[in-house]
Structures are given as C-alpha cells and as structure tokens.
Amino acid sequence: MLIKNALIENSQIPQDLRIEDGVFKEIGNLSPEENEDVLDLDGRLFLPPFIESHVHLDTCLTAGDPVWNMSGTLFEGIECWSKRKEKLSREDIRERVKKAVAMYAKNGIQFIRTHVDTTDPELTAMKTLIELREELKDVMEIQIVAFPQEGILSYPNGKQLMIDAIDMGADAVGAIPHFEFTREYSVESLDFALKLAAEKGKLVDVHCDEIDDEASRGLETVAARALELGLYDKVTASHTTAMHSYNNAYVLRLMRLLKMSRINFVANPLVNTHLQGRADIYPKRRGITRVKELLAEGINVSFGHDDIYDPWYPMGNGSLRDVVFVGLHVCQMMGYEEILNSYRLITYNAAKTLHVSDRYGIETGRPASFIVLDEKDYYEALIKDSAVLYSYKNGRKIAENSASQGKLYI
C-alpha cells in the first residue's frame, strides 16, 4: 500500500509512505508499483497513533449507577465506586470496557494504560481486563496497572491482593500514598510497591499526591526509590496535584531529585481541574501539577483522560482532543509552538511512559501504525476539533471517520 502526500508531524512538505507486511517500508518521494493500493491524503496531517496514558477502564461508563456523586468530589467518588463494586461482574466489565475501547479506537487511540482496582477480594476486574487485553490486542494495546484504590496498607489483605494481581499478569504496580491512613503507611506502601516491581520486573505507575494538601510528599519517596532501585523511567507518577501547592523553595530542591530519578509524569487536566481545589473558598487552586516547569527541565510528561463517565467524572468521550485542549489552557501553554507540538503529550511522551517507544513512531522498519487528521497541522486540527479520518494499526485499518460537514443557511 502506498500513502501519498502525507504531512508527517506538522511538516510542510508532503511525503509518501510505502507499507508492506504491516511495517513502514519506505518514506520519501515514491511512485505506485503495479496493482498497488494508493491512498492520497492530499496534504493532510499524518501522526503516530494517540496514546491514552492514564484511564480507569474498570470504572468507565458507570456514572449514576447505583448512585450519583452529588458533591462531585474525589472522596465521594471513591464511596460511590465502593457501592458499584458490590455488583461488579465479569459480563458487566466486558461490556463496558469493549464500549470504551471502541470509543477510543474511533478517536485514533491505539494504546491504553488502564489502572484496575485491586481492592476487591475476588479481583474480578483484574481477571477480566487481563482476558480483554489479549482479546482486543489487534485493535488496542492495553497495559494494566494493579491499582489499590482503597490503599495497600489501609485495605484488608491489600499487599497480598497486589502480589496476586501482579502474578496474574498485570503489567505495572500502582499505589495511592495520599489515601493511606497515615504518613507512615504512605511511605511503607511506596516501599512495598517499588520493591515488588523491581523483584518482578514490572513497571510502576503511582496515583501520587492527588490531593491539595501541600504536605502530601509521596512524590519524593517515589523518585528516591526509583533512583535507588535503578527503576528510573520504568516509574511514573500520575496526578501529583499536591505539587501545585508545594512551596517554591521545596520544588527547587525536589526538581534535582526528579531529574536524577528520570521518572515520568502523567497529568489529567479534565479530571483534576474539577476534582481539586474543592476545599478552597477563593482563590481556588487549578489543581494540576507543574507541567510547564517539568517539561522545561526535560522531564517527561504526558496527558491522560483518567475517567470516562464514572463516579469521578460524569463526562468524557474517549477523545484525547479535549484533554489536550483544556490542558494547554490550564497549564498556560499557549505559545504557538506549544500548541503546534502539543500532540507529543499524547503521542511520543505517552509512548515513553508506557515503555513502547521501541515499536512506535513514523520511521522505516517500525509498525505501520498511524492516524490521519483532516487538517494540515496539529494547531489547526486541535482548534478546529478535526476528525480522525483514518486509524491504521500494523498496516490494518481499524477506524475511519468522515470529515465533519455541516450546512449553513446565511
């Protein structure tokens, strides 16, 4: 198959790509061979596929069931989920996850890192997601984090459930230090999680300091253990919203450790801007980690959706466009280059977080996985909410959308 006139990653010069056996065979100025299928993009944006680096597929599409989160807060969300968990079944999870994966696929996403709750004695969601990871792999590469929603030390048998989830086949170890009963539990839970990952050869992704309490200092422990155990960029700190509230002298000291540790960050602009700052009267904090400053220090940051229509977020549609759009606003990343290159927050940066960079990107020899957007560059695509015209994974078309067209009578 030959793709003609692609504007690869905001390039202004159209290029052609030949795909054979599911990989990019050639990139350049190419002519069709005899009987070769040709797709002429006529100067449209050609990107590597989008990556969802943080979501909870096991909770998605459950908002209002059995009760609505009336306050809209994180902690009431956890209570609502606790009730919903009682009627969790394999069938229920399968149906919802498949729907959510279809929503993502339609929007050009081909990789998902999902956190899956381990604070369930039956580990029903974990078992089901592991099955679905295999079943859906041709459409979506799913990575599973064993996520202790109600704590590792603060939930009965929490440590053993984490070990069971990892032995069952989860890809990454999670933790939730800011939700543990005490600061001591918080530190111990991180020691446990990172040592478990080091022993079992797994990745780490911690729900870290997702709170406005400036005394929540899980991040320094995560970074220190990542460094000491040699885990480095296998470790990700998600949320880190307390960092928004840290005093600047502390951040200055912390930044040195963060750079040495080489850990990744995931910010979730949609969800954290509405969940954080709830205890504030006015001024209200924005509730997002220091994305701009982390990036300026060369630290890897990606953006995630976090929740889709669940007890913590009653909206969401499986498109990362809104995530980037809102993230740029709230992080004050409105420079022209920042907007133009913001696709990296949900492509290359996310690939680094998921540790899939070795099989990702538009280069000869790499899997022919890509998306086409109906504009010439990402700046235009973002502001015009461009349709994802095509999504190909390993050379196979998995989604196609028509350009949005309306009629105007003026």
Question: What is the closest distance, in whole angstroms, from the C-beta atom of residue 300 to Fe ion in the complex?
Answer: 18
Cβ proximity to Fe ion, 220 vs 306, nearer residue: 306
Q: How many residues make contact with Fe ion (CB under 5 A)? A: 1
Please choose, out of 128-136, 298-306, 334-342, 357-365, the segment that lies near Fe ion by the rule CB under 5 A.
298-306
Stretch that binds Fe ion, among 23-31, 135-143, 275-283, 306-314 (CB under 5 A): 306-314
In the complex, residue closest to Fe ion by CB: 306
Distances (CA, A) of 250 to 193, 217, 242: 25, 10, 12
Beta bridge partners of 2: 18, 38
Between 114 and 245, CB nearer to Fe ion = 114
Residue 110 and residue 140 in contact, taking contact as beta carbons nearer than 8 Å: yes
Interface pick for Fe ion out of 9, 92, 209, 306 (rule CB under 5 A): 306
107 vs 149 by CB, closer to Fe ion: 149
- Give dist(CA 287, CA 242) in Å, integer: 8
Q: Which of 9, 141, 150, 210 is catalytic?
A: 210
Q: Map 110-166 to HEC letters.
A: EEEEEEEECCCCCCHHHHHHHHHHHHCCCCCEEEEEEECCCCCCCCCCHHHHHHHHH
Task: Say which amino acid occupies 226.
Answer: A
Residue 57 or 132: the one with the smaller Cβ distance to Fe ion is 57
Stretch (H or E) spanning 112 = strand 109-117
- In angstroms, give the least distance from the CB of 306 to Fe ion: 5
Query: Do the Cβ atoms of 161 and 124 come closer than 8 Å?
Result: no
Shortest approach of Fe ion to residue 271 CB, angstroms?
7
Q: Is 150 in the site for Fe ion (CB under 5 A)?
A: no
Query: What is d(CA 55, CA 305) in angstroms, rounded to the nearest whole number?
Result: 6
Nearest to 24 by CA among 354, 370, 358: 370
Instruction: Single out the segment in contact with Fe ion by CB under 5 A; choices: 153-161, 221-229, 287-295, 300-308.
Output: 300-308
Which span sits near Fe ion by CB under 5 A: 174-182, 221-229, 305-313, 374-382? Answer: 305-313
User: Does 36 participate in catalysis according to the annotation?
Assistant: no
Maximal CA-CA distance, the chain: 69
Comparing CB distances to Fe ion, the nearer of 82 and 341 is: 82
> How are beta strands 388-393 and 396-400 bridged, if at all?
antiparallel
Cis peptide before 66 (omega within 30 of 0): yes
Piece of 130-138, 248-256, 299-307, 382-390 that binds Fe ion (CB under 5 A): 299-307
Both structure tokens of 377? 């560059």
Distance CA 145, CA 20 (A): 34
Which amino acid is it at 368? Answer: A
Site string for Fe ion, 101-130 (x = CB under 5 A): ------------------------------
Nearest-approach distance from CB 61 to Fe ion, in angstroms: 16
In the numeric block, which tokens belong to residue 219?
A: 């991040």
Which CB, 150 or 306, lies closer to Fe ion? 306
The catalytic residue positions are 210
Q: Which residues bind Fe ion (CB under 5 A)?
A: 306
